[in-house]
Homo-oligomer: A and B are copies of this chain.
Amino acid sequence: MSEDKLDYKRAGVDYSRLDPLKVMAQQAARDTARHLLNAGFQEVAASRGESAYVIDMGDFYLASITECLGTKSLVADAMREIGGRTYYDQIAQDTIAAAANDLATVGARPLSIHAYWAVGGSEWFDDERRMRDLVQGWKATCDALGAAWGGGETPSLAGIVQSGTIDLAASCVGIIRPKEHLVLGEALRPGDAIVLLASSGIHANGLTLARKLAERLPQGYATPLPEGRLYGEALLDATTLYSPVVQALLAAGIDIHYMANITGHGWRKIMRHPAAFTYRIASLPPVPPVLRFLAQQAGLGPDEAYGTLNMGAGYALFLAAEDAQRAIEISQAQSVPAYLAGRVESGPRRVLIEPLNVLYDAASLDLRG
């Protein structure tokens, strides 16, 4: 690896150290499921390790999740100084999308959303424009998702959250009704089509890397991309909301076999399903200019770029080949471009990206333990 190259370990995120905790916590959590029986309900055990937790409530399923934005707000803070805009309306959408896109993978429709906005000190709220943008963006995203904004928490955490910064997260509760809309991957099978839904840009994953790069660029976030927009501005494009696409697919009766939200670990998430399948990608969606720029400037090879960033695909749908074209049309009717990218095959658990000659084996994505 050359000296010029930025990778994730060097940029401060070391997945190998995070995952053992995840595994230990998941095992302890599993043991608590029995409590639901006392309340007259039952956990859907197959949802353990999936992107949202699912409880069988009798007439319907309930899904819940808490997700964090990450460090994207730091880019907005830097751009506030460069161009005057706060971008916190978009940051709000990014934060909710982190939870709602995950919630949608099990087929859930969001019901209510809670805000978690932890600041380093009360002075964060002195920037009225930013505060207003955050509130209005949060509301607009709830409206776009058809979800109620249920409440929130705005703690001031001097000594934990750095002064002038904000730790943003969202909790989401959703419903799966009729119960046939539950998607946990039991139906995934060889021959299924892989449909990739376009991303709008970096979304909320890879920002640590993107920020490190900004430090190295002489003009930082103000660096113009070949297309003319500023690097920082393009990074801040709001995460696509996939929940409306998923709801439209389910409403149209499309039998979705599985879904994966392409976030951390990039395209390795295509093999999110625990079973042994080979995912063969034959064609690639367009790469957003900001991701092409980032991969190039950070010196990432295709294996690293697609293994870290979404590279133009923010969501993966797995469904019967004969449903692929209709799913693509439904997604596009929701203004989200969609691509028939490849197929599921029997074989060892891995992702093959043929046009790039890239292979990710099962060991490169250990989410469950």
Contact = CB atoms under 8 A, between A and B. Distances in A.
Contact of A135 (B28, B38, B55, B166): B28
Contacts of A111: 36, 39, 41, 55, 62
DSSP class of A's interface residues: helix, strand, loop or mixed? mixed
Contacts of A132: 24
Contacts of A126: 17
B18 A156 contact: yes
A153 B67 contact: yes
A148 B43 contact: yes
Contacts of A18: 122, 125, 154, 156
Interface string A139-180: 100110111111111111111111001110101010100000
Number of copies: 2
Contact of A35 (B131, B143, B157, B165): B143
A14 B122 contact: yes
Given A111-B39, A159-B162, A116 B32 contact: no
Interface in A25-68: 25, 28-29, 31-33, 35-36, 38-39, 41, 43, 48, 52-53, 55, 59, 62, 64-68
Interface stretch (A70-78, A187-195, A251-259): A70-78
Interface of A: 12-14, 17-18, 20-22, 24-25, 28-29, 31-33, 35-36, 38-39, 41, 43, 48, 52-53, 55, 59, 62, 64-68, 70-71, 73-74, 109, 111-112, 114-116, 118, 121-123, 125-126, 131-132, 135-136, 138-139, 142-143, 145-162, 165-167, 169, 171, 173, 175, 208, 211
Given A41-B111, A159-B74, A161-B167, A118 B148 contact: no
A109 B40 CA distance: 12
B66 A148 contact: no
A21 B135 contact: yes
B114 A171 contact: yes
Nearest to A98: B153
A13 B53 contact: no
A66 B116 contact: yes
Contacts of A121: 12
A83 B38 CA distance: 39
B35 A146 contact: yes
Contacts of A147: 32, 35
Given A13-B122, A160-B166, A139 B28 contact: yes
A355 to B, nearest CB: 32
A70 B166 CA distance: 14
Contacts of A22: 154
